Chains A and B, each alone.
Chain A
Amino acid sequence: MGKITVSCLLMVAAALLAQDTIKKPEIQNAVLPPVKIFKIVIDPGHGGRDGGAVGSQGTKEKDAVLEVANLLAKSLADETEERFKVILTRAEDRFIPLEDRISFANQAGGDVFISIHANSSESKKDYGFEIYYNSLATDDSSFGVVKRENAGFKEKKEAQNVDSMFVLWDLAQNEFQKESMDLADKVQAAVEEAVKKPRANGKMFYMRNRGVKQAAFAVLRGVRMPAVLIETSYLSNEEDENNLKKLEFKERLVEGILTAIKSYTKKNSNLQEVSK
């Protein structure tokens, strides 16, 4: 009999506690503004004396990515249902050091950082777009110690102390690893979707989705918000350069990036309501 009384009391106590935890978010929610304003930092790569990659027809990375960035800024500002505040690290053809871009984005308190670039490769056959986010500091260890089948005398490479060397590499981005990866994945999917639709003339853009990748980017290092770097196409490839010269292609890119940002921010504004 006593046991039942005790367990009954425990259940009541548990129910009260549960109620208490449920109540809390309701109170806080009432204080929150109905719509969160997301600050989107758009970073057009290079600029000024740093032209970036150059195509065989003379297309400069710094110019092409600035156009894409400005188009993206405009379409974000035109959005009605969601509220975006757009911050451009450069709006003109000017050289801005990487450190300045990073501190500018952090000081502005950005929610998302999107760096826009155009790629090049030593092989003119390489083409397509790819989305990067910064590697976890420790990931560099798996960068593959080079296999040496026949190095004369057998000697094992000393295991590098990865932790001490790399854990501090990018603490800021490590914190946003999951979000950055999620955003990169969304951009990749949405850009592919937008680019593969038939063009106005009925033809298709010759494009390739090279997927989401990780690397140690200097411009993403120390950025205190989810951050991705978009490589829109290869200027070293003839077809890709032709694409990037077209306004229609740039609009498709922007359409894809915008869809990804909207889906990402929607998911994260929901998350905020739940977690608070």
Chain B
Amino acid sequence: MKRISKPALVVLIAAFILAGYIVVKLLFPSPAELTFNYAARQKTVKLYFVNQDGKLQIEKREIQGSTNVSDDVMICVTELAKGPKEKNLYGALPKYALLREVYIDDNRCAYLDFSKNILTDAKGGTTAEKQLVFSLVNTVLENFGQITSVRILMEGEELKTLYGHLDVNRPLWGRTLE
């Protein structure tokens, strides 16, 4: 029987420990890491657009994620503003709607701070306003489980209404258009 040299034994033991560590880590990842190790990876988001019947309909889209939730919300909403790629779907959020900042408070409410131009040339009836609000809120809540409600701001200020109908000056938590 060949004798194993001391250094080789140390390396072998170290290798065993490392392998064991990796196996355990892969099998039982700690919940903390799942939540906080927010990797910037490619992900599929669900965007809410309006279909021909005026109801909300999901279109899936690949986005390059960032390293934190707020930035991902920003990327997601910016994609929403670009409008649908599928035929027979309509974007409810104006193409020129510019999201300045996103922040999430202790109550897990996401504040979406739009620049003034969300109202520039904003024209629309009650239904169009509902479509805008609900496509936006549903898109955020659908893709970000850690967010429980959404508030819309303009230039950092609270906003009573977008098109002059719905009261949006409160936490919103989505609804499917009936």
A interface vs B, CB < 8 Å?
Answer: 45-46, 50-54, 61, 98, 117-123, 125-126, 132, 140, 143-146, 148, 151-153, 155, 157-158, 160, 165-166, 169, 213, 215-219, 221, 229, 231, 234-236
Interface centre among A123, A213, A215, A216 (most CB of B within 10 A): A123
Further 11 A-B residue pairs, CB within 8 A, beyond A53-B128, A98-B164, A146-B142: A53-B123, A54-B123, A122-B90, A122-B128, A132-B126, A155-B146, A215-B130, A217-B165, A218-B160, A231-B126, A234-B127
Select one of B34, B50, B53, B126 contacting A119, CB under 8 A: B126
22 A-B interface contacts by CB (under 8 A): A52-B123, A52-B163, A53-B128, A120-B124, A121-B54, A121-B127, A121-B128, A125-B52, A125-B54, A126-B54, A140-B173, A143-B174, A148-B141, A151-B145, A155-B145, A160-B149, A165-B170, A169-B167, A215-B126, A217-B126, A218-B160, A234-B127
Report whether B125 and A52 are in contact in the complex, using a CB–CB cutoff of 8 Å.
yes
| A-chain residues with CB within 8 Å of residue B128 when the two chains form the complex | 53, 119-122, 236
B65 at the interface (CB under 8 A from A): no
The answer to whether A120 touches B142, judged by C-beta atoms less than 8 angstroms apart, is: no
- The docked-state distance in angstroms from the alpha carbon of A146 to that of B148 is 10
In Å, the complex CA distance between A126 and B54 comes to: 6
**Contact call B145/A160, Cβ cutoff below 8 A:** no
Give a binary string over B150-173; 1 marks a CB under 8 Å from any A CB, 0 the rest. 000000000011011111011101
Shortest C-beta distance, B105 to chain A (Å), equals: 13
Which residues of the other chain, A, contact B127 by a CB distance below 8 angstroms?
A: 119-121, 126, 231, 234
Chain A nearest CB from B153 CB (Å) reads 16
Residues of B within 8 A of A157 (CB): 145, 148
B120 adjacent to chain A (CB < 8 Å): no
**A234→B145 contact, CB < 8 A:** no
- Are B149 and A122 interface neighbours, CB within 8 A? no
Residues of B within 8 A of A53 (CB): 123-125, 128
Chain B 100-137 interface mask (CB, 8 Å, partner A; 1/0): 00000000100000000000000111111011000000
A9 to chain B, nearest CB (A): 60
Residue of A nearest to B175 (CB): A143
B176 contact set on A, CB distance < 8 A: 144
A116 to B149 Cα, complex, angstroms: 31
Q: CA–CA, A46 to B34, complex, Å?
A: 50
**CB < 8 Å: which of B50, B53, B164 contacts A46?**
B164
Min CB gap A117→B, angstroms: 6
Residues on A with C-beta less than 8 A from B148 are: 157-158, 160
The residue on A at minimum CB distance from B167 is: A218
Chain B residue contacts of A148, Cβ below 8 A: 141-142, 145
A218 to B126, CA, bound (A): 11
B91 A122 Cβ-Cβ under 8 A: yes
CB distance from B18 to the nearest CB of A (A): 27
The residue that A158 contacts in the complex, of B53, B108, B175, with Cβ under 8 A, is B108
B178 within 8 A of A: yes
The answer for the CA separation of A46 and B126 in the assembled complex, in Å, is: 12
Alpha-carbon distance between A121 and B126 when the two chains are bound, in angstroms: 8
Within 8 A of A (CB), among B11-36: 31, 34-35
Asked whether, in the complex, the Cβ of A122 is within 8 Å of the Cβ of B164, the reply is: no
Evaluate contact between B54 and A153: CB separation under 8 angstroms.
no
